[in-house]
């Protein structure tokens, strides 16, 4: 596994007990069936494999610690072999609590061999006031491998009256095909998140945002379909857009709150994938 260089262990000067976990899963196609090839898990990072009744296998990552704070570290890795496909999701939203000891760190690593498909569909990450998080997603695609990946962030829980005025957040994406960089994206928030996202050039007061990337050969040819799908989910409190590059469709979402963002994301993903999301999304 290649660890993103932006993903490094934080010092722990307070000597507090820290959450650490690593989960790795690999699927391989044998005949007409995609089967589990390898599974490793340690610490608080676990994997569950629900029955899919003939559909593509689903791997559910979960953090048994119940949330993260400064100095905690999770690594999730998913691989699929040639012509195999799998859906990767999480059991629930990941919660990032107030930090006293640097950032929490979450690394996602995906590898897809030729002809394969990984749908990376974790549920949202919730940042609470004074949270610190460094998150990275590194993807290696071979040949005509495909990736559909989403990451979303919610600033506090509006229904609980939570405001987020101090946060440190860094989100880093790197997608490579045959070793060549095809997509690089970086988002940072440092300071008063509510104030930073109030501007019209940021989130116009939104408390939740997401990025969805569809990476496959000739993806750009579906730009009109993508625009129609985005138009179909726009509503009060939710803005969305899509852009195209060679082999890429990039969707962006900004919403007033996490509930509106989640509802819009689910509606678009169900249309775009032409199937329902993993069951954990409906719990």
Distance of alpha carbon 252 from the chain centroid: 13
157-168 per-position pLDDT tens digit: 766 667 788 999
Write out the E strands in 156-207: 167-177, 180-191
Report pLDDT for 179: 97
Q: Helix, strand, or coil here: 8? A: coil
96-112 per-position pLDDT tens digit: 999 988 899 999 999 99
Roughly how many angstroms between the first and final C-alpha of the chain, as a whole number? 32
- Region 271-278: mean pLDDT is 96
- Phi/psi at 266 (nearest 5 deg)? -60, -45
**Residue showing tokens 């007061």:** 205
Give the integer Cα–Cα distance in Å for 175 and 98. Answer: 30
């Amino acid at each position: 596994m290649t660890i993103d260089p932006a993903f490094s262990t934080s010092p722990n000067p307070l000597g507090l007990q820290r959450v650490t976990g690593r989960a790795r899963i690999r699927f391989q196609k044998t005949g007409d069936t995609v089967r589990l090839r390898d599974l490793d898990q340690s610490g608080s990072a676990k994997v569950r494999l629900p029955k899919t009744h003939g559909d593509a296998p689903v791997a559910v990552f979960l953090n048994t610690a119940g949330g993260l704070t400064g100095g905690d570290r999770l690594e999730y890795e998913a691989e699929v072999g040639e012509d195999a496909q799998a859906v990767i999701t999480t059991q629930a939203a990941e919660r990032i609590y107030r930090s006293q000891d640097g950032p929490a760190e979450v690394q996602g690593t995906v590898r897809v061999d030729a002809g394969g498909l990984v749908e990376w569909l974790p549920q949202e990450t919730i940042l609470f006031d004074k949270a610190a998080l460094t998150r990275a997603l590194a993807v290696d695609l071979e040949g005509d491998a495909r990736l559909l990946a989403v990451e979303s962030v919610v600033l506090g829980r509006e229904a609980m009256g939570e405001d987020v005025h101090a946060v440190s957040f860094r989100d880093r994406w790197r997608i490579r095909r045959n070793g060549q960089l095809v997509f690089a994206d970086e988002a940072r928030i440092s300071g008063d998140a509510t104030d930073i996202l109030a501007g019209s050039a940021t989130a116009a007061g939104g408390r939740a945002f997401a990025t969805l990337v569809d990476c496959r050969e000739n993806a750009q040819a579906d730009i009109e379909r993508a625009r129609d799908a985005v138009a179909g989910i726009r509503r009060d409190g939710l803005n969305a857009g899509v852009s195209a590059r060679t082999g890429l469709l990039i969707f962006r979402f900004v919403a007033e709150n996490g509930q509106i963002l989640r509802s819009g994301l689910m509606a678009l993903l169900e249309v775009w994938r032409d199937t329902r999301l993993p069951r954990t999304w409906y719990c």
